[in-house]
Structure 1
Amino acid sequence: MCSEESDKAAVYVRDLKKRINIDEPRYDQETYVGRAKHFFLTTNPLNLLVSSRRLEEARCLVTKYRCNEPIPDDTTVNELWRAKMLYDSAFHPDTGEKMVLIGRMSAQVPMNVMITGGMITFYKSTPAVVFWQWLNQSFNALVNYTNRSGDVQQTNKQLFTSYVCATGGAVGTALYLNSLVKTMPPVIGRLVPFAAVAAANCINIPMMRAQELRHGTPVFDDHNNKLGYSKVAAQSGIGQVILSRVFMALPGMVAAPVVMDYLEKRGTLCRYPWMTVPATLGILGFCLTFATPLACAFFKQKASIPYNHLEPQLREQIQKQYDEPPTVVYFNKGL
């Protein structure tokens, strides 16, 4: 009965008088709420369970609709948007390449719950600090590279150099901060991982996207025509990503230490030591489930920059292509 009613209520793509613009997200990206709805869908950890066959079907449907090729007559509007959401969650928006599974934004919550839980729980010994910070920055390096903006390629040597500098900086920051807080209250020591992560993001993200800073990221006009590569746009996009990542980590990495310190002072953890890991992971899981999409929504994925803020050389190049250059150009800021 329910399925019959849903079938009757279904709106088929073939019946629409106006084409759906699937090059843009379903929800209004000019508003924070619209961006948050979009990222709640694309960062949903359940997307990781979708089979490769289903992802390929989604890619084919999206590609055919974009190219105005025939699609199945029984395709509904919701099915088309579902395919687009799966496509966005698994394929790079600029290159169209399928992203590594744990490098996708939908892997952020489960991976960060595990890694952040380790950093907060095992923060006292130097070997543990080194291991968990190394693991965290290795994961972040993979995510930063996977979700980089543009189509600029890096050599293996450049990637390795960026990785060593980023992870080395993160581990060094954590060890230095730990040495400073040894005589301070325990809760301060528990907050060191967040400070280290925040500082490391300022190193890791620019290093793993160094090619964009050197050569620029692609910029486009209103009709998605590539205009060239802009270093200014790359700097703006990377700065926005750093802020988003810091705020993404903030709720869980601050709330969990404060709560665990409170439980420790009350003696709860002494009476029930088995609670330490489940409680930490539970708090982190709750915070990250909401903080990940809400932090991603701070800035638009399709970022914009005024034309007159671009480099003089790029403006000259664009002026040769247009009688009236666009007032604003667009670029993918990355995630």
Structure 2
Amino acid sequence: MAPALASFDIDALRWDQTTFVGRLKHFFNITDPRTVLVSEQELDGAKALVQGCRAGVVPPGTSQEQLLYAKKLYDSAFHPDSGEKMNLIGRMSFQVPGGMAITGFMLQFYRTVPAVVFWQWVNQSFNALVNYTNRNAACPISLTQIGVAYVTATSTALATAVGLNLYTKRAPPLVARWVPFAAVAAANCVNIPMMRQQELISGIAVTDENNNELGLSRRAAAKGITQVVISRIAMAAPGMIILPIIMEQLEKFPFMKRIRVLHAPLQVMLVGGFLLFMVPAACALFPQRCSMALSSLEPELRAHVVAAHGDKVPYVYFNKGL
């Protein structure tokens, strides 16, 4: 190993995660949509380089920039708990290309019930895969639980979308354009907790500040999942609330009436612009390593920690997932 890299800590976060700006820079880095184009071979090479650096073995001639890029690829494609490679569609780095296509078409094809049903189904299928991929991997979930979560969230989205679509037939056009967002928000409130229900049932691992495991907490799971729900709704909100206003005004122009066939591609591109910023911004709303006061834990877990550590552990920490 080069002397300059002998003490290099590849897991040290480059930006302060206690501030929103620091977290924003971090998530801009690991949700970079360009990383979805990286080959499987290069991703595996990045993992090997990261693991080698952790073990104190780095190939001669490797620069710090190469190590940082390898860590970026590793964080974008491998689960933080298990270290397993995540499926491409479920990665947060795929949120921009995947989300812009689905959201753009949801916003475009909102007028008829069949179109609403189809695109809400596509969106919830996509969301279910993302939620499963980014769960706390320490809590396994059965195929039955996955199926129930998927059906429940999809049914919620469809019921909300179709119901509001019929209810807003006589409402101003702009109100009807906001129906997809209402359906997405409602479904997120169901999809994420259902897909991660095992965490709420069994609890998730909480640690002290030195990552020593203290036990399992259901309250910590509830806090983490609530923050993820808020983040996902915030991720979709600007594009699905502001873009309909923009399109409502644009479509009044004669040239827009002549190019109706281009309305859907235009909305897809505009949604992509929103998501390019909102994916990292929404992920950065709350720290990835979430904290919780010891006094907020379940009484039995709190008693166990106090018995083992006294007053040396005022806060516990856990991975809230994405």
TM-score with structure 1 setting the length: 0.92
Residues 104-183 of structure 1: matches in 2 within 5 Å? 104-183=91-170
Given that 1:219 and 1:331 are in contact with CA atoms closer than 8 Å, whether structure 2 keeps it comes out as yes
Instruction: Quote the residue 1:231 is aligned against.
Output: 218
> Using the alignment, how far apart are the partners of 1:318 and 1:96 within structure 2?
28
Higher mean C-alpha deviation, range 322-331 or range 114-123: 322-331
How far apart are the structure 2 equivalents of 1:205 and 1:14? 46
CA contact 1:26–1:81 (8 Å) conserved in 2: no
User: Structure 1 counterpart of 2:183, which letter?
Assistant: A
- Partner residue of 1:29? 17
2-structure distance, mates of 1:274, 1:19: 54
Aligned to 2:3: 14
**Secondary structure of the residue that 1:329 maps to in structure 2?**
strand
What is the CA distance between 1:14 and its match in structure 2? 2.9
The equivalences for 1:133-282 within 5 A come to 133-282=120-269
Q: Aligned residues: percent identity?
A: 50
Match of 2:26, as an amino acid?
Answer: H
SS of structure 2 residue aligned to 1:265: coil
Q: How many equivalent pairs are there?
A: 322
Q: 1:38 aligns with which of 20, 26, 45?
A: 26
**Aligned match for 1:61, one of 28, 46, 49:** 49
Paired with 2:188 and 2:98, the residues of 1 have a C-alpha distance of 16
Question: Deviation of residue 242 (structure 1)?
Answer: 0.9
In structure 2, runs of 5+ residues without a counterpart are none
> 1:150 touches 1:217 (CA, 8 Å); kept in 2?
no
User: How far off its partner does 1:272 sit?
Assistant: 2.2
Look up the SS of the partner of 1:113 in the other structure.
Answer: helix
TM-score norm. by structure 2 comes to: 0.95
Gaps of 5+ in 1: 1-11
Distance 1:263 1:19, change over 3 A: closer
Q: What letter matches 1:180 in structure 2?
A: Y
1:50 aligns with 2:38: yes
Cα RMSD between the aligned structures? 1.6
Give distance in 2, aligned partners of 1:226 and 1:84: 25
For 1:165 and 1:274, locate their aligned partners in 2 and report how far apart those are by CA, in whole Å. 34
Letter matched to residue 280 of structure 1 = Q
